[in-house]
Structure 1
Amino acid sequence: MSDQPKLAIVITCYNYENFVEHAIRSVTDQNRDDCELVVVDDGSTDDSWNSIQKFSGIKTFRTENKGQPKACLYGFSQTTAPFVMFLDADDELKPGSISRIIDHLDPGVAKIQFMLTRIDAGGNVIGEASYSSKSFRNRSDLTRQVLKTGVYRSPPTSGNVFRRDVCELLKDCSYDTAVDGVIVFAAPFLGDIVSIPEALGRYRVHDRNISGFGRKPDAKIIAKDIQHFEQRMDHLRTIIRPVAGSENLVDAEKTFYHQERSFFLSIATGQKPRVSALAKLLVKLVTQDFSLRNKAGMALFFTLTSVLPIARAQALLAYRLNVGQRSPMGFLHLIFKGA
């Protein structure tokens, strides 16, 4: 390994013995001496640690189970590179991806993002990620979007690389259960965001994804998601105060994301969303930066889940939140199933 690595990759693992070797090998096989790799076993109770120890020449650590954010922070503390990627143990990098990433690194970059090819548990390709694949290097447009909406389109954890000072913000995120929360939305205020318009990694979709693979929507998970979003917004307000003025950031409750998740929560708890909540959400949808096709589809989804029997509305919501492959035909099947 180089004495001055340009990129650090931190892999954290909890009971992913079936996948972690693929994640590690996807990095080591690229044979980059300017990239440091750290693997943290977050107190796994399966055979993950033995799988990790099969690899020599990389830093490996085993800790008590404390959750992804703390495991990532521990791994981060063992690195020195100016840029860091947190690669989930069930995901992988594609050959040549590290070279492509490093080519885009410079001190003015706060975050790099790229597409991820979706694969199943066996590694079979099931589709590309759904977020924008446009190439850009931007800061001002994204800061305005965050101030207005609280979010911008960003890939899952494994599709991001952060400058080291951005990662330092994680030390104040004890409220969160994810590592890619506030740092994603703070990044544009700290430097440029670079989007690489190609899939450089693989995002594995399987029955242990937290998003809920085909299961009934979990009201507790959705409620926690809303709570974490509110906490991230409060934290973000503190972070951006010196550079953008905290008063310019939209209130969490006024964002489309918050209103959409609150709408989902009503359905998940077995309650019909109020007509006023539907109307409010549809009005907010019109102002969002989605394509006309996406807006039409979302409007139809919100309307149908408001009028269909609650069991069928919950089935539609479960399909909507599924991290796997979705299609219009799949939605139609659920709508008319049993009709």
Structure 2
Amino acid sequence: MHNPFISVVINNYNYADYVGAAIESVLAQTCGDVECIVVDDGSTDESRAVIGRYDGIKPVFKTNGGQLSAVRAGFEQALGEIVIFLDSDDSLYPKACSEIAAAWRPGLSLLQFGLDKKDNAGKPLGTYPNGPFIKSDHIGFLLRYGYIPSSPMSGNAFSRNYLAELFAMPAPDERMAADGYLIYCAPVFGEVAALERALGCYRVHGGNTSPSAIVSPQTLQRQLLNDIKFRERLAQTLERRGFAPDRPLNYLGPYDFRTILLLNRGYRNDSSVRHIGCGFALVQAIRKFLTYPDIPLAKRVRNVAGVLAIAALPPAFVRRLLPEQTLGSSEAWSSR
């Protein structure tokens, strides 16, 4: 029986405190057919010294270019027919690659799996994804909602063939976050399957760049612009592959439209999305909070009330919902 070779690509930027644990988790895999590639994207802390302590890895040191550029650089060095992009503050459990190899089958572009959320002390904080993986009709779900339920980047194993096709296309922005782009495009190129158990750990800490850690106008806008860019590419990819996508803007999620309202109501003069009408954003946010899957009823009601308040409150009150900061250039927000 063929045992697929797996490449684990760790992408790192200024996470010297965590990257060692990520590397050790890959080196500890019980499956022998695994390689560890560590891409440092121009860190200015002690990351490169930490990476240099380990034998049995492929280090890639590059100038800072953003997460998408880092995963592309790692992929260029990867030999595996399965590729996992592990964020440097996360880790894999010892049998993760063995279970992924056992579940892999021809025709897959993506195999999803769960992640346990833990803080720096190892305290459990729940699991990813927030809702169940879907079992079938991933394309139908994607065409309707502009996403598929998933774990963050570290909870996904990709087909080499799929990645080669995707990376052959022009990237929307090398500095954009890579997870949504890689995960949501996957159903367009092949089948998607899932393992309904956690195979790794997602570390929750103050430096995370996930939406749950976003608290300032700058980071809110950076995440929003990232979402807009990759949904534009998603729509183009769907159309190129023979599907009939919705407008890219309509693929933004409810929290994206809430962000548009926050920026345009509270920081309109500095907002890069002021061309999107507040009325349109309000209607879309309400509709999506009411219809998106896996949002509990009480949370739906709170979010609808919240966006109505944002739309009605004076700008000075809206700004109190976020730290009072002056927005800089959109180019600066897009960089790491």
Alignment of 1:153-168 (within 5 A): 153-168=149-164
- Pick which of 153-162 and 306-315 moved more: 306-315
2:331 matched to which residue of 1?
Answer: none
Distance in 1, Cα, partners of 2:134 & 2:148: 15
Distance in 2, Cα, partners of 1:57 & 1:287: 49
Letter in 1 for 2:195: I
- Pick which of 304-313 and 13-22 moved more: 304-313
2:305 matched to which residue of 1?
Answer: 303
Distance in 1, Cα, partners of 2:212 & 2:73: 29
2:249 matched to which residue of 1?
Answer: 253
- Pick which of 156-165 and 269-278 moved more: 269-278
Distance in 2, Cα, partners of 1:193 & 1:170: 19
Deviations 1:187-208 (A, max 9, x none): 1121111111111111111111
Alignment of 1:97-136 (within 5 A): 97-134=96-133, 136=135
> Residues 257 and 284 of structure 2 are in contact (CA less than 8 Å); yes or no, is this contact kept in structure 1?
no
> Per the alignment, do residues 279 and 15 of structure 1 end up closer, same or farther by CA in structure 2, a change over 3 Å counting?
closer
Letter in 2 for 1:302: V
2:103 aligned counterpart, secondary structure: coil
Deviations 1:43-80 (A, max 9, x none): 22222112112211221222222222112111111111
> Per the alignment, do residues 142 and 121 of structure 1 end up closer, same or farther by CA in structure 2, a change over 3 Å counting?
same
> Per the alignment, do residues 45 and 102 of structure 1 end up closer, same or farther by CA in structure 2, a change over 3 Å counting?
same
Matched, 1:281 2:279: no
Deviation at 1:233, TM superposition (A): 2.7
Matched, 1:227 2:228: no
The percentage of aligned residue pairs carrying the same residue is 28
> Residues 304 and 313 of structure 1 are in contact (CA less than 8 Å); yes or no, is this contact kept in structure 2?
no
Distance in 2, Cα, partners of 1:234 & 1:114: 26
> Per the alignment, do residues 316 and 205 of structure 1 end up closer, same or farther by CA in structure 2, a change over 3 Å counting?
farther
Matched, 1:194 2:193: yes
Matched, 1:38 2:37: yes
1:327 matched to which residue of 2?
Answer: none
Alignment of 1:1-339 (within 5 A): 6-134=5-133, 136=135, 138=136, 141-168=137-164, 169-170=166-167, 172-175=170-173, 176-211=175-210, 217-245=215-243, 248-255=244-251, 257=253, 260-268=255-263, 271=266, 277-290=281-294, 294-307=296-309
Deviation at 1:120, TM superposition (A): 1.3
> Per the alignment, do residues 88 and 214 of structure 1 end up closer, same or farther by CA in structure 2, a change over 3 Å counting?
closer
> Residues 113 and 199 of structure 2 are in contact (CA less than 8 Å); yes or no, is this contact kept in structure 1?
yes
Distance in 1, Cα, partners of 2:247 & 2:280: 20
1:90 aligned counterpart, secondary structure: coil
Deviation at 1:181, TM superposition (A): 2.8
Distance in 2, Cα, partners of 1:231 & 1:303: 28
> Residues 229 and 252 of structure 1 are in contact (CA less than 8 Å); yes or no, is this contact kept in structure 2?
no
2:271 matched to which residue of 1?
Answer: none
Deviation at 1:220, TM superposition (A): 3.1
> Residues 116 and 159 of structure 1 are in contact (CA less than 8 Å); yes or no, is this contact kept in structure 2?
yes
CA-atom RMSD in angstroms:
2.9
TM-score normalised per structure 2: 0.80
Distance in 2, Cα, partners of 1:286 & 1:120: 31
> Residues 7 and 34 of structure 2 are in contact (CA less than 8 Å); yes or no, is this contact kept in structure 1?
yes
> Residues 5 and 80 of structure 1 are in contact (CA less than 8 Å); yes or no, is this contact kept in structure 2?
no
Gaps in structure 1 of 5+ consecutive residues: 319-339
Deviations 1:213-237 (A, max 9, x none): 766x323333333333332233223
Deviations 1:161-198 (A, max 9, x none): 11112223245225151121322122112111111111
TM-score normalised per structure 1: 0.79
> Residues 112 and 196 of structure 1 are in contact (CA less than 8 Å); yes or no, is this contact kept in structure 2?
yes
- Pick which of 126-135 and 199-208 moved more: 126-135
Letter in 2 for 1:237: A
Gaps in structure 2 of 5+ consecutive residues: 268-276, 324-336
Letter in 2 for 1:265: I
Deviation at 1:17, TM superposition (A): 1.2
2:157 aligned counterpart, secondary structure: strand
Distance in 2, Cα, partners of 1:276 & 1:249: 20
Deviation at 1:91, TM superposition (A): 0.3
2:179 aligned counterpart, secondary structure: coil
